[in-house]
A and B are shown apart, each in its own frame.
Chain A
Amino acid sequence: MRPIVEKADPGSSDSSAKVRGRGLTQETFYLRATRLARLSRGGDRHLTLVLEWEEGGHPFTIRDNFNQSLRASQRLLLEAGGRAHLLSASGRVLSQPATPEARFVSAFAEGPVKAALADLPPLRALLTVTSGAARCGRLALVDGGGKTRVSANLRELCPIDGDSIVLVTVGELRGYGGALRDLLSRLHACDAMPLAAGNLYRVMHPASMSYTARPSVEVRREDTAFDAANALIGAHLPIVRANEPGIVADIDTEFLHDYRIALRKIRSVLSLFKGVYAPEQTVALKARFAALMAPTGPLRDDDVYLLERRSFYAMVPDTMHGGLDRMFERVGQRRLAAWAGLADRLRGKGYIREIEALMDLFSRRKTLLPGPNADRMSQDLASELIRKRYRRIRRIAAGLTAGMPDDEVHALRVECKKLRYLIEFFGPMFQQDVLHDILKSLKKLQDSLGSFNDCVVQQAGLLAFLDDLGDEPRRLEIAQSIGALVTVLHQRQIVEHEKIVQAFAHFSGDGMRQAFRRLFHDGKDI
């Protein structure tokens, strides 16, 4: 068996994939380190398993975002030995110098890994999934003449806490398909899993939790409206809780964003499913969830400003950038204060007591009081609510003109959002292809409404910011920049208004009306 020779860096760090360009199998598996020894058992007796480990180890870190986007896309981001390696289920391994201090992909050094990670949500920070000590090795099946028939690169990962695993990247050698099949069957016998199986984190840490901001709640047609509401709220409360640590640690803006969306959905269930809970309990619950939501507003507003920073700079000439610098400096300070306040609140006893009480209420459900509509079938209620909402939207849309006041457009936006939530809550009960068309049209409309609303809110926010400047020494400079921004935003608002009119024409047209009729009204007119 030849020694492990450190391969010369061929410039492109993707050489292995290039070699495999002619259809040779290359695939990455993982198995518990304790099972590796079993690989030598069984298999073709003419082939001997040779296992070699390099001397010395090195620290490793597995990184992924909170959504576990990499795991979901069957990839593994491993930082080890000063390099970042991106392993994919196809066995392709990309690598480049690591940037351990980079929290976002955008801060990575340029290279093939950064390029391949361009599909990750840009606003989500990369977190440490696990870290520990790693060592590299190689295994081969060798014939009687000492020729390697198939080989695999090994990487043993021993996390600080958790179970050790071995990553096995198998590479077929041209002309030796039989040996490849032999190795694959040996791996199978050792319970090795392909990277695509997606539970590597859990194998290393059985307590590892996966997160999704959109829980799938199976509401069945025959479920009562009361059960459906309980299930929906019960599924979104853990999302609220899951995001608390990320907000407190200020990891990225999406923790607060997801936290707010989960709360908003809960509040939608309470306000849209009328009569499902007893009236006095509905009022009380609405107030309790509104109280959770209210303190999050200022931080989210500032987050949005800061996320829009680059586009604000692009809107005005360079000469006005000085004013923007100062403005964003102040927004940054304000944001820090808003975050500190919210973090304190989320850590506080009062908040914890309240959220735990709500969790308890919706998990035990004993003290939830059914209202007059509690026993209605979900499908009936859903169809009625959706029909009602669609009718209301069409009514407003009929009066949509260029001169419509901003607050009416805002009201439309709210109606559309409610409709969207309703369709999402009850979607699985209805015919999927028609539903897909409706959602597509609705989403287009909402995008325009959202852009319009952003323009309006940002103008108002900027003007309020101006009022709030007090004795700021560079007040004039900031005011000029804000003036320019407001002008551009106002022009954009006019353009977006036009788009809304067009999107509404489609959404309230005959085609959509028929789709709603078929899906939510047994073909009868809406």
Chain B
Amino acid sequence: MQIIACYSNKGGVGKTATAVNLAYAFAASGRRTLLCDLDPQGASGFYFRVKPSGKLTEARFFGDTDRVAKSIRGSDYDNLDILPANMAFRDFDIFLSRMKDGRSQLKKVLKSVKSDYDVALLDCPPNISMLSENVFRAADAVVVPLIPTTLSQRTFEQLQTFFRENNLQEKKIHAFFSMVQGVKNLHHDVIAEMTQAWPERFMQSQIPFASEIERMGLTRAPVLATSWQGPASQAYQALSDELDRRMNE
């Protein structure tokens, strides 16, 4: 099973939209896909109309792998299941800090459903925390959406520093530009600068700023399912294909 984390240490960058659409694209390609909604602020489950899991507290999430499997819900789409968020995930940090070997716990949980899925996509909360570190260690790829602004440059550097300091493999990072607005010069400049600075870390695919992505809140479905011919859908499909290639290199 491949584990792909969708992560950003800054909110509002289109992280959940990316997780939702990547999960859909992987499932549509025939791979059995599990989307784990680890971000209590996020809305992966909301987009798939799956209710939050009341039963799954953090203690149970790590202590009772069988209960995790039972909390998984089938989406309306073939090959795609959701592990809905639990509001108690916000206390993960406190919980994990009390645990001695917290870092390997997430992997243990995912291992329990390993044979059921080809791909697990993790929609992660937006801060560098114990949970994030846990995720980075467990993941085969960390997909990082960035809005091309000067602030993003700083947060991306912070992320790389965190990887280095914690002895994590930087090559797991697959960044891309999100909410790109072609009319803004600033966006052009930042994209050029950052791509030049870290050519291996950035994917070529970009996700445009598109109203259809915003409308996902109304349609409660991935754009790839509702308007697959639109520019946003095409961009997500291209992103999924490119990520696939990079992971198999």
Contact = CB atoms under 8 A, between A and B. Distances in A.
B73 A2 contact: no
**Chain B interface helix/strand/loop/mixed:** loop
A148 B75 CA distance: 8
Given A19-B79, A174-B73, 6 more contacts: A5-B225, A9-B30, A15-B79, A18-B32, A174-B72, A175-B73
Contacts of A174: 72-74, 81
B73 A22 contact: no
Nearest to B220: A146
Contact of B76 (A12, A15, A148): A148
23 contacts: A2-B77, A2-B221, A5-B77, A5-B225, A5-B228, A7-B78, A8-B28, A9-B30, A10-B29, A10-B30, A11-B30, A15-B30, A18-B32, A19-B32, A19-B79, A22-B115, A140-B76, A146-B220, A148-B76, A172-B74, A174-B73, A175-B71, A176-B74
Given A15-B30, A22-B116, A175-B70, A146 B81 contact: no
Nearest to A150: B74
B78 A173 contact: no
A19 B221 CA distance: 21
A145 interface: yes
A2 B225 contact: yes
Contacts of B70: 175
Between A15, A21, A146, the greatest number of chain B beta carbons within 10 A of the residue's beta carbon is seen for: A15
Interface residues of A, number: 25
A334 interface: no
A86 to B, nearest CB: 18
Given A2-B221, A8-B30, A10-B29, A16 B74 contact: no
Contacts of A11: 30
Given A8-B30, A18-B32, A146 B73 contact: no
B48 to A, nearest CB: 8
A14 to B, nearest CB: 10
A147 interface: yes
Interface in B34-87: 48-51, 70-79, 81
Given A8-B29, A15-B79, A16-B78, A145 B73 contact: no
A18 B79 CA distance: 9
B49 A146 contact: yes
For the residues of A in contact with B, the DSSP-based class is loop
Given A2-B225, A16-B78, A147-B49, A173 B30 contact: no
Contact of A12 (B30, B49, B73, B116): B30
A151 interface: yes
A173 B29 contact: no
Interface in A124-166: 140, 145-148, 151
Given A15-B79, A21-B116, A175 B74 contact: yes
Contact of B78 (A15, A21, A145): A15
B51 A19 contact: no
Interface in A14-41: 15-16, 18-19, 21-22
B33 to A, nearest CB: 10
A15 B50 CA distance: 23
Contacts of B49: 145-147
B28 A147 contact: no
Interface string A221-255: 00000000000000000000000000000000000
A191 to B, nearest CB: 28
